[in-house]
Amino acid sequence: MSKGNSTQHRRGAGYFLDPQIPAQRQYEAVRAYLIEGLSAQEAAQRFGYSIATLYSLCREFRAGRLAWFESSKPGPKKAPKRDAAHPRVVELRKQNYSVYDIQQILRTEDMSVSHVLIHQILREEGFAKLPRRCDRERPSLVRPDQAEVADVREIDWRAFASFETEGTALFVLLPALLDWGVDRWVRGAGLPGSKMIPALQSLLSLLALKLVGKERMSHVMDVCFDQGFALFAGLNVLPKTTALSTYSYRVTREMTVSLLESYVRTLRAGTLLPGQSFNLDFHAIPHRGQQAVLDKHYVSSRSRRERSVLAFLVQDGDSRALCYANATVTKDLAAEEIMNFVDFWQDIAGTLPPHLVFDSQLTTYPVLDRLDKRGILFITLRRRGPAILRRLRGLPKARWKTMKLTGVSRRYQRPSYVESAVSLRPIANPLRQIAVRGLGHEEPTLFLTNDPDIKPVELVERYAHRMLIENGIAENVGFFHMDALCSAIPIQVDLDLMLTLIANALYRNLARRLTGFEAAQPKQIFRRFLNTPARVTVSDSEVRIRIRRCAHHPLLLTSGALDAQPTIPWWQGRRLRLEIR
């Protein structure tokens, strides 16, 4: 049959003439070529293939590598595991065991079944759900040990006399945390507390989980019997999941902002936050639950829009330390968040931020106009519209100048550029537009800036360094589990993000002292230097931490990070002493 055949087809023939399923389309194309006598060009054109693809399909078919009509295998008629477990499940439910109790008992009897299967069996047999019971009403089973209740008044220092701990990182980072004045931060913020767990102990308990890379608050159960974590926080034991989660809901945004202000002032007093240029970016933290009072944002890791918390992050361009965060940003106010940071920095530093670098989707042109009027220099991108691209393609080749990039390590070292002044409608003053091609993209990249003095090559190199904030976000996602939402409520996530900033700064501060590891990520610092056990000995005057030796510990010794011997106020005046055994 040829394409021009006028034969009248019966109803339903379109299913064969215009197949929609890829496998059927391949079958019809090969059949038309081999059986119906169509030429390769006609068969390929009818079914939307190139001639080369049609020949390839025929070659695969002749070689026996294409199978369009595989016979289906009949499924199993019996369920041996289900049949074997059925009578035992019914017997145990009659003894008042729950689904999970039954699963545990069957596991000890070498019958591994899921709780879903057990629930199906019970439902088919007509058993109702068991009412809620307290522990003494439940059948006797082997259950996990319960740690003591956290209470600062119950500390028995004799119980800390000598023990092994996996929390070496906590004690190595403790001197810097104490030097920064974390106890003053807590008092200044007015964080909530109780007689059993004061505010400082609550914050230290949450921070301890961040410093060792624990993903969620619930993972405190993994270390609740490690006395080193309790000693770090100044408690008899760490608070459990419910206590930590409930506490975090009591922390308001105003308290978190106070912590943030103290944190930034402290870092500015040192050398960890020069504050000459800042990288700004948004990061959508996806919510994996069923329901949430959250806006939908684009999540780059999943390439789609979904319910998420939009976190605004600012990073110092020189030290790479994160210096501002807000996880309570709503979609309608996202464009204004950059101005909130400007006001925040002016209140803390007494001056406006000198220089800002961000991408085109961070804010809007009216906000750029406000930044320009306040004298804040910025570098951003402009979206490539069709008219702009046509105008750039029409420029003579002589207009494009070549630059050599030296300040960044990249494959494309000699891009070309053309500079012009552009007037954008909401912005009062013209901006410099630098179009750069040869950066690895098909179309030119359009840079916008109000800096009259920066050279084009310096501008491109500086914007390339903006990628450091994306690397910083990757660091926090990778080790501090910033994407592991502890709640669908932004307030709690906001506190979690503030703890991430503090933990990241502590690791960044330690990395700067380690030769050859100045730019290392927290995960690498933890693995190379801090992921090792320690022997802790507590006396009336000091707490001695003897760290088990690792290959990279000579660098830690020469860095001076173990030399400090501060007196810890929440240890009743005991002094910290670090050494490597």
- pLDDT tens, the chain, 581 aa long: 344 444 567 777 777 878 888 888 889 889 889 888 889 999 898 888 999 999 999 988 888 888 777 766 676 777 788 888 899 999 998 888 888 888 888 888 888 889 888 988 998 888 888 887 776 667 666 666 677 888 999 998 988 999 999 999 999 999 999 999 999 999 999 999 999 999 999 999 999 988 988 766 667 777 888 899 999 999 998 888 888 888 888 999 999 999 999 999 999 988 888 989 998 988 887 766 555 545 455 455 545 556 677 889 998 888 888 899 998 888 888 899 999 999 999 999 999 999 999 988 889 999 999 999 999 999 998 888 888 989 998 999 889 998 888 766 556 678 899 999 999 988 999 999 999 988 877 888 899 999 999 998 888 888 877 776 676 667 667 677 666 665 555 557 888 889 989 999 999 999 999 999 988 888 899 999 999 999 999 999 999 999 999 999 999 999 999 999 999 999 999 999 999 98
Q: Look at residue 286 in the predicted model and tell me its pLDDT.
A: 72
Q: Please, which residues bridge with residue 324 across strands?
A: 314
One-letter amino acid at 324 equals Y
How many CB atoms sit inside 10 A of residue 503's CB? 24
Full-model pTM? 0.73
Q: Look at residue 231 in the predicted model and tell me its pLDDT.
A: 94
Q: Look at residue 3 in the predicted model and tell me its pLDDT.
A: 44
Q: How far is CA 150 from CA 71, 155, 201, 211, 239, in A?
A: 63, 9, 10, 20, 5
Q: Where are the beta strands (DSSP E) in 30-187?
A: 162-165
Encoded tokens for 488: 């669908």
One-letter amino acid at 385 equals G
**What region does 96 belong to: left with phi over 0, alpha with psi -120 to 50, or beta?**
left
Encoded tokens for 159: 């119980």
* d(C-alpha 494, C-alpha 257), whole Å: 10
Token pair 């499924």 is found at 75
**What region does 148 belong to: left with phi over 0, alpha with psi -120 to 50, or beta?**
beta
Q: Look at residue 408 in the predicted model and tell me its pLDDT.
A: 60
Which of helix, strand or coil describes residue 492?
Answer: helix
Token pair 């994407």 is found at 483
* d(C-alpha 82, C-alpha 382), whole Å: 62
* d(C-alpha 393, C-alpha 364), whole Å: 27
Q: Look at residue 4 in the predicted model and tell me its pLDDT.
A: 44
| Number of alpha carbons in the 13 Å side-chain half-sphere of residue 9 | 11
Residue 219 contacts residue 239 (beta carbons within 8 Å): no
